[in-house]
Structure 1
């Protein structure tokens, strides 16, 4: 076992089996992938990486299981000690497929496909998950099979959990611990991102929350006495999206970075890696080392925050729906401007309940869905924002969209 000092969780204990994963070059690569892309352009402290986040998710997933086991009547055939470490390995590898600058690269793939017509692999926010499962199968299978030889097929276990296609109760529990409305992944990034941004929005009582989790009848459930913490968690997530992740200037620079990456893909300077060997060096620095190969307006914006302006009109939901109807025109203007006019969409649902998807609360009346017991959570709604920006060299397009947004806000778009 190794102790790692962490600013969020204190000491993180890494079991010997998982140390071999931590030491692998493919996992060490995550030290060079920023967790929140260009958020540091607004919040200078946000230079943390997927490496420490992945360790944090590993730690919390094992903590969650420890308390779930104590609070529940689990009847799994797998040895408990082995199973908890397999959950830790799964959590540790959940972001292994991220490309440079994390989700911004996924957005760049969308821009490359939709705006510039490139034939690139793009599955929205699932891109890194699909690439990650392939990477696990090709780059970690022998190590995982050696470490967890008594647990059947650990590679298939991890792949099914990360792809959210569990085939049994053990996989379903692991999936719910790592990827759910209240999970180890979101718990770590809210606390970690809030800390490095220097804001209080993402804080909640993780120590109390994890102690009141249980798993019954295939449902991850929170005891009623922890309901205020569940509400605090979901509100923290909403505030972080509204104020940090969806900050207009953060969105502007991530949109510019998406254009730069799309240009590098278009012009053949980079391509999405296909083998573990190609992944090893495909990190943030590969983008910055190629910035001089894109037009200088994009380079100067990303290096020195020069040249681009944001249209300072935050459209209403009604206007955003109107903009949806002219999306093809927006994309065409982006293409014609060759990256000097940018458009970026933000979208998140803090909490929803569909079919079997819900946070379950163990109340005096039995197991109930969260919205049944929390008027506060019933009031949460979808967050949608858009950002328009333009370089001084595309001022004509900038004025066009300033007029469109002004007319929309004043109700003239129907005229």
Structure 2
């Protein structure tokens, strides 16, 4: 039977090949997965034109997923370098890649990325619009904004960040609510500026139904962007952020009426104690739709280490219900990330996601840790390396400082508690 989107199929009781693939990878019953998709609590970003995709599910009861941002800018316009990052990101088990390109031959880069990517690819069409039309922001028409969405969808983009919630009502609330860092979302700032320059409604909000028709045609998942996400701790959970979230909840229902899959994007920078309540708010106001967070970064004082501040916040957010973590690298706030920056960001995000999956009781999550603990008890170094989230780094650290006794390390040597307890307890030690 024909179906228009994964949600449409699920609501008709159909099981698609994408649902079967996700259920297999997650170890869940495909009928249960189908029902969650029908209710909007799980999405499978899978554009009909993305032929190389190995689909993944995002949402309730599934492993926490991570996204990697990359792309070309005017200052760093090296497409081959960014494609190499994408290749390495996939090797490092990223679940999705967002192309944030905003300069140069963006269409060529995007198509090459989609062709080589086995994971879901996302974009932010408003970034591309200014460069694509080569005109001042204020002169871009609503039809032209939607035209870029159509081009991205036709190319095979699986999910798109659309800042439809920063409408004139949200903008008015923002202007009445003093902020330390104003609007830090690039897409949100562009659309806010467009509205101010033209005295008009946000085109993605005004023509949301037209946007939905495009997404339905190609089965593009909408990632409803958080233009008013806090850019510092002081701005967290303010009136503008919550006003936008309420609007995103209303837009979610409108999308579901058209069988269009939806994710919700969230903060941002946020104190530790506000993360849990924010996750609850999103799930309540947006009807259980999957939540996609940038971080949250739990302190503002760590440039060069924001992959750590983000991983702390990401673990807490996911443990409280967030479903999708956008990685942050050590280069955040400083420059375009290098390949090594990207790797550090991915590993930090994967650690956060896995820690949260253990807390959420995701089936099979703890088995990995238990296997590592067994290898440590046996001082089975090779098995430890195989199980490590970053085997290369673990091996390198071991080789850089070899112990006198192979069944120890240079921290404790003959005083190694594990080694001595094995001898006392009669355990075999290394195998």
Indicate the TM-score class for this superposition, using the shorter chain for normalisation: under 0.3
| TM superposition score normalised by structure 2 | 0.23
Question: Which protein is richer in helix relative to its size?
Answer: 1
| TM superposition score normalised by structure 1 | 0.23
